[in-house]
Structure 1
């Protein structure tokens, strides 16, 4: 099947029986909350705590109780962006946070991107990285690199071949979640002919959240959230509705790679997801901060 660089393809995005090709080997991972014995989850010995430190920890635990009760049994889809995955320590922190959420009764699902890793490998192979409206332009050579990084390197530790999600079959995914495991999903999928396509990871996360009837969609990225002034980190928008964020796009206040993030949030909200948040994945425990506190950790978009 030959596609031009400006074409996109509607495809069936299934988790039950994805077709395998030499360039699109599927690797599924699950993190079991009942087995936190991996060395990646082992924290260093804690220093001695003062009474004030202990009181603070007790207060934080006490304040989180209403949120644990509110979200217990609810599905939370988290997209961990490639630009926020540069630190091994932060990666381990995000994994611990996901396991903690699972242990207290939430049902997390992780979708990962790998933008910086893809760019590094493209540079090593002297293939220029191209973007259009925040989406990667992907020819045949770039598609091979995308598959190597997203399905191989990242899971293990376009516009040519860019796909649009036509449908998500959540059957197997729902079974994994019901069994208490945390699915880890790469944003590469194949069409009915077995041709792999690169899909924007934010888009995948939004469609998965909608298909699973998720309570929350959370995008962890390398920015604090939506800014009223892109040059001013202090202009963070804490909460905004769909109408307001669409107006910001029209006014040019939201641009670049933030556009597909916002659009996927809007689409997921239109399909029944309760809230969608864009938060800074470079900040340790920002995921817990967003879910378990009143102030949150970034920008929350509501319907």
Structure 2
């Protein structure tokens, strides 16, 4: 390898130092989903990013959903999927599949991906340690949970031993009944409960646009008040509303800042957190 390439690498690493210092010993919650979860190369790049952050002393928490995997399993078992206001109506047979897929196949698969790269990870769901306490959101949705409380003890314990907690979006009520929860909401509430330095929401879009058809109209930074204003003006609309709401929820619950980034860009997490490039939209108080 030539001297120029080596010098360039050294330059990149030294440029990252101030950013690494900003996040060392701080919590970073990553909400993982979309195409970055299904494309093997993108998945590998995400796991490498998380591992690097973990190795430089960042307290990384990975929160995931698994909608496509759940749909596929329900189809195989010939259980029909119905949605209401973007949420899966979850009866008991559906919940059994959700728990099996999310807390089982998807969760342990992600743990294995991190371990394969030489990292240490532990798979958890909200039932473990009574971590995510919920009540029924409404009767029409069945076993879909509204979060009452997050106990972060188990997350903190796992991190203190050098592991990355990989958390699937399942909660439990006071009677020990398991509930399906929206993974964006889980990430937001966990980030708030940990008073995280940052939450990163990985999506299939670049961030908030002034004009959704113009990629150059990306808004790099929004305060909570500005985001609410853009919702009123209809600039934040449709499928962006729940994504932005979760970001605002995380800030209002105690996270310092939240990024929406495009998970289809390789190493998007490192580019956003450890360089001055900035890819997506950052939300601040």
TM-score (norm 2): 0.82
1:136 and 1:259 map into 2 onto residues whose CA distance is: 18
* Superposition deviation, residue 127 in structure 1: 4.3
Distance 1:207 1:251, change over 3 A: same
Cα shift readout 1:242-288 (whole Å, capped 9, x = no counterpart): 11111222233333443222112112211221101111111111000
Structure 1, unaligned runs of 5 or more: 1-48
* Superposition deviation, residue 143 in structure 1: 2.2
1:79 and 1:64 map into 2 onto residues whose CA distance is: 23
Cα contact 2:34–2:202 (8 A) shared by 1: no
Distance 1:144 1:288, change over 3 A: same
Q: 2:91 is matched with which residue? A: 139
Structure 2, unaligned runs of 5 or more: 110-136
2:230 and 2:94 map into 1 onto residues whose CA distance is: 32
* Superposition deviation, residue 123 in structure 1: 3.6
Matched, 1:201 2:183: yes
* Superposition deviation, residue 126 in structure 1: 4.5
Higher helix share: 2
Aligned to 1:295, which of 257, 273, 277? 277
2:211 and 2:86 map into 1 onto residues whose CA distance is: 18
Cα contact 1:135–1:260 (8 A) shared by 2: no
Q: 2:25 is matched with which residue? A: 73
SS in 1 for 2:217: coil
2:73 and 2:205 map into 1 onto residues whose CA distance is: 23
> How big is the alpha-carbon RMSD for the aligned residues of Structure 1 and Structure 2?
2.0
Map residues 261-300 of structure 1 onto 2, 5 A cutoff: 261-300=243-282
The range that moved more, 181-190 or 233-242, is 233-242
Matched, 1:97 2:79: no
1:249 and 1:127 map into 2 onto residues whose CA distance is: 36
* Superposition deviation, residue 301 in structure 1: 0.5
1:141 and 1:225 map into 2 onto residues whose CA distance is: 36
Distance 1:163 1:228, change over 3 A: same
Aligned to 2:234, which of 252, 262, 285? 252
* Superposition deviation, residue 121 in structure 1: 2.8
1:210 and 1:255 map into 2 onto residues whose CA distance is: 24
Cα shift readout 1:143-182 (whole Å, capped 9, x = no counterpart): 2332222111101219322101100011121111122211
Q: 2:200 is matched with which residue? A: 218
2:214 and 2:67 map into 1 onto residues whose CA distance is: 24
The range that moved more, 187-196 or 141-150, is 141-150
Cα contact 2:34–2:263 (8 A) shared by 1: no
Equivalent residues, number: 255
Cα shift readout 1:105-125 (whole Å, capped 9, x = no counterpart): 111111011122222333444
Cα contact 1:77–1:111 (8 A) shared by 2: yes
SS in 2 for 1:172: helix
Cα shift readout 1:164-223 (whole Å, capped 9, x = no counterpart): 110001112111112221100000112111221111111101111111121001111222
SS in 1 for 2:41: helix
Cα contact 2:28–2:198 (8 A) shared by 1: yes
Aligned to 2:40, which of 78, 83, 88? 88
1:223 and 1:123 map into 2 onto residues whose CA distance is: 27
Q: 1:115 is matched with which residue? A: 67
